Amino acid sequence: MEYVYAAMLLHSAEKEIDEDGVSSVLSAAGVEVDSGRVKALVTSLGEVDIGEAMATAVAAPVAAAPAAAGGASATPAAEEAPAEEEEEDEGAAFEGLGSLFG
């Protein structure tokens, strides 16, 4: 992931995304650079409009935010559900025993 972040940083700084630039950013961050991964990243980004990709990626968390808020209110219900299931399971167990003595 740090390789992609290095490319994004170079893009944001309006620098060319090339092998030397990505390697320099990674080295400055203290990351051990794998030249094969750097070359693969630079090659794969050759045909990508990074500005558009970043704009699309930034929009995704915003869309997920309401779902997270809804998920927070659903948490208590999720905690209650196992307790209800346990009660139902116990009832089913007793009903099964009752039929043995029935």
CATH code, 2-75: 1.10.10.1410
> Is this model's pTM higher than 0.85 or not?
no
Residues 56-84 have pLDDT tens digits of 877 666 555 565 555 555 555 555 555 55
Each domain of the chain, given as residue ranges in start order, spans 2-75
**Helices 35-44 & 2-12 angle (0-180, nearest 10):** 50
Mean pLDDT, range 6-23, rounded to an integer: 92
Q: Which of 21, 23, 1 has the alpha carbon at shortest distance from 11?
A: 21
Torsion of CA 14, 31, 38, 17, to 10 degrees: 0
Mean pLDDT, range 20-45, rounded to an integer: 94
For residues 27 and 3, is the Cβ–Cβ distance under 8 A?
A: no
Rounded Cα distance, 22 and 43, in Å: 12
